[in-house]
Amino acid sequence: MPAMDERLHTRQPEPELMDLPHEVEAYAQADFTTVNQAFVNRLLDVVRKPAVRALDLGTGPGDIPLQIKQLAPNWQIVAVDGAAAMLDLARLAQKRLGLTGIEWRLADAKATGLPGGSFDVVCSNSIIHHVGDIGAFWREVRRLTKPGGWIFMRDLFRPATLQAAREITRRHAGTESPILQQEFFRSLLAAYTPDEVKNQLQDAGLTTLQVLTVTDRHIDVWGRLEE
């Protein structure tokens, strides 16, 4: 185990998919309502359109599309995840809420198979830190977004030290299950720094996007694709 004050100069990758039964169960039982609502509120404030075709990458159990549909019912949403068990939870939640206008799709976020330039909005909450081939991910985001379309991503960023990662875990996941605490800590270590994300965007030609630190653990990546 590294020393408690060790600086986190490089990320420690974690699996791209959360598809093990204990991971899916722990994630489904956790309460992300406040965090997800903050993401949706910011997304709708950025886009400010009553009706768009949107893509949610790494949707997990579908909380983001379901919250969007309750606030912006005219949005048409395609929600992608690589874990079938997560999409099963999403479909059950959609049925329980009686919502329509969401297509759930099993696919790799780096290679969705969806038509290029077909979305007014491409968004995601907490997928970036899962992705190993991050260049392929950003190229796919660019390919899928219409010219002039919006891109909005929120994700964790890697703390400067191991001690800081432990403190953030205690602060924000201390009341969750041990499994979820472990997952959250691993995600912090797997996350990219703001500067690393800025370099990724430059490499992918997404030079119109901004990277902004918005909480003690989150960054927003957002802007409009060039016309």
Task: Give the DSSP letter of residue 174.
Answer: T
Report the C-alpha dihedral over residues 166, 197, 42, 86, rounded to 10 degrees: -70
**Measured between alpha carbons, how far is residue 167 from residues 14, 35, 161, 219 in Å?**
20, 18, 10, 18
Average pLDDT of the chain?
Answer: 92
Q: What's the pLDDT at 180?
A: 85
Q: What's the pLDDT at 15?
A: 77
Instruction: Classify domain 21-224 by CATH architecture.
Output: 3-Layer(aba) Sandwich (3.40)
Q: Which of 137, 157, 122 lies closest to 46 in space, CA to CA? A: 122
Asked if the model's pLDDT at residue 12 lies above 90, the reply is yes
- Residue 10's pLDDT band, with cuts at 50, 70 and 90, is very high
Averaged pLDDT, 78-89: 94
Say what the pTM is: 0.91
Averaged pLDDT, 45-66: 96
Asked if the model's pLDDT at residue 126 lies above 50, the reply is yes
The β-bridge partners of 106 are 81
- Count each helix (H run) and each strand (E run) in the chain, helices first: 8, 7
> What are the structural domain ranges in the chain?
21-224
Q: What is the pLDDT of residues 13-40, one digit of tens each?
A: 987 765 555 565 655 666 678 889 999 9
C-alpha angle with apex 32: 141 to 53, nearest 5 degrees?
A: 35
Q: Which of helix, strand or coil describes residue 33?
A: helix
**Measured between alpha carbons, how far is residue 42 from residues 45, 125, 153, 154, 194 in Å?**
5, 11, 10, 10, 19
Q: What's the pLDDT at 33?
A: 81
The β-bridge partners of 221 are 153, 211
Whether 71 contacts 40, CB under 8 Å: yes
Q: List the single range of 58-62, 87-91, 109-113, 173-177 with lowest mean pLDDT.
A: 173-177
**Measured between alpha carbons, how far is residue 106 from residues 25, 60, 66, 189 in Å?**
19, 11, 17, 27
Q: Which residue has the higher pLDDT, 217 or 7?
A: 217
Most confident of 11-15, 167-171, 176-180: 167-171
Q: Give me the helices (H) in 98-226, please.
A: 134-144, 162-173, 178-190, 194-204
Q: What's the pLDDT at 42?
A: 97
